[in-house]
Every structure is written in structure tokens, then in C-alpha cells.
Chain A
Amino acid sequence: DAKTTQPNSMESNEEEPVHLPCNHSTISGTDYIHWYRQLPSQGPEYVIHGLTSNVNNRMASLAIAEDRKSSTLILHRATLRDAAVYYCILRDGFGNEKLTFGTGTRLTIIP
């Protein structure tokens, strides 16, 4: 799986938008961009994924750069429950289904 680069940690104020960046300069044409998050003492949970176009769901939005070498996960209005480690992962559309995790970004929400 291609490698991603994320900041180790970020802080944001409660009820404000949060933009979590991810760089994936070696992404291939068949790689999907997946985001998972891991709340304290829980297993990772799926957040969102995309291939080329921006995506929205009830949890978040995913903005993908035109050249696909970077993406941003957007939490529109952060709550204390959004404090977690966020993982950006590339998955080959024609390869194994497994997820290869990096160290992610630890998001702290300030009340």
C-alpha cells in the first residue's frame, strides 16, 4: 500500500470546523483514500472514503486535491466526542482488501 503522511497531533476548539490534512504524493490511479478514526479504548471506525471527487456523509467531508496527492478530512463542527486518532489510508482498488495503518493524527478538542 502507498504511504501517507499526517501531522502527529492537532488541536481544535469545540464547535469549530476541523481540517485534518493527509499527503499521499505516491498515490496510484487505482488507490482509494480511506479515513478511519479510533476513539479512546475502542477499535478503529470507518469515517469516509473517496477516489477522485469530494465526498460528504453524516460524519464528515473528504476534500481530494485535483492531482490526488493530498486530501483533507473536514469535521464541520467538532464536539468533544470527536477527540480521537484519525488515520488516512490508501487502498488499492485491485489489491488486497486489508488496511495498512500509519500512526495517524491525534486530534484534541478544547472545550
Chain B
Amino acid sequence: EAGVAQSPRYKIIEKRQSVAFWCNPISGHATLYWYQQILGQGPKLLIQFQNNGVVDDSQLPKDRFSAERLKGVDSTLKIQPAKLEDSAVYLCASSLGLAGGANVLTFGAGSRLTVL
């Protein structure tokens, strides 16, 4: 089974520039997540999609971050304009969306963003 694909793996930009990250989840996985992981911390959920609808975006800084999941498959996460504090690894994960607490998430390798 192919895993969760993310690109690019690394990106360096200057502050106030824009950047976009792409995620292709495991085939058939209805739920897709974007997490932000700052160095030394655990991942923090930014947004969760169920098919192409947003389930939870309560921690997404909506003034600069946006995400979409067209056709309920691939997803993009955009930051515009970037700030120094956005330097982090952006992780995409997907799951079958099973009911109950047994649902397992599969994560991609992440996209490391450095903002100078």
C-alpha cells in the first residue's frame, strides 16, 4: 500500500513570501489532516477534512493560512504571507474515518519550511 505523499520535502523562503504544500493521501481514506510541528514540540492540528468538507479548522491562522481538498482526494496548504514563526514541519495524515476511537492515522514524511 502506497503511503501518504507530500511535497516539497524542503522549502526555504523569505518572510512575507508565499508557499504551498501538497498532500496525496492513501487511496480510499476519507479523512485528511494537516499538522504543524515546531522544533521540539508535538504536532499541532491545523485543519481536518472529511472528504472535501472541513471538520475542524479551529487552530488554523486564517489570516495567512488556507487549505483546500478538491474532489475529496489531494489537498494543498498555503501560507501567505509567511512569518518567521511559521518555520516548522508541515505533516499531512489520512485515515479511513472509522467510527469510534480505534481510527488509525497514517502520516507522510512532512514538508520542512524555513522562513528567513
Which residues of A are at the interface with B, using a C-beta cutoff of 8 A?
30-32, 34, 36, 41-46, 49, 51, 85, 87, 91-104
Contact = CB atoms under 8 A, between A and B. Distances in A.
Given A43-B110, A44-B43, A104-B42, A99 B101 contact: no
Contacts of A91: 101, 103
A31 B108 contact: no
Interface of B: 4, 31, 33, 35, 40-45, 48, 55-56, 91, 93, 95, 97-98, 100-110
Nearest to A96: B56
22 contacts: A34-B101, A43-B107, A44-B43, A46-B104, A46-B106, A49-B101, A51-B101, A92-B101, A93-B101, A94-B100, A96-B55, A97-B48, A97-B98, A97-B105, A98-B33, A98-B48, A98-B56, A99-B43, A101-B44, A103-B40, A103-B41, A104-B42
Contacts of A95: 101
B45 A98 contact: yes
Contacts of B48: 96-98
Nearest to A30: B101
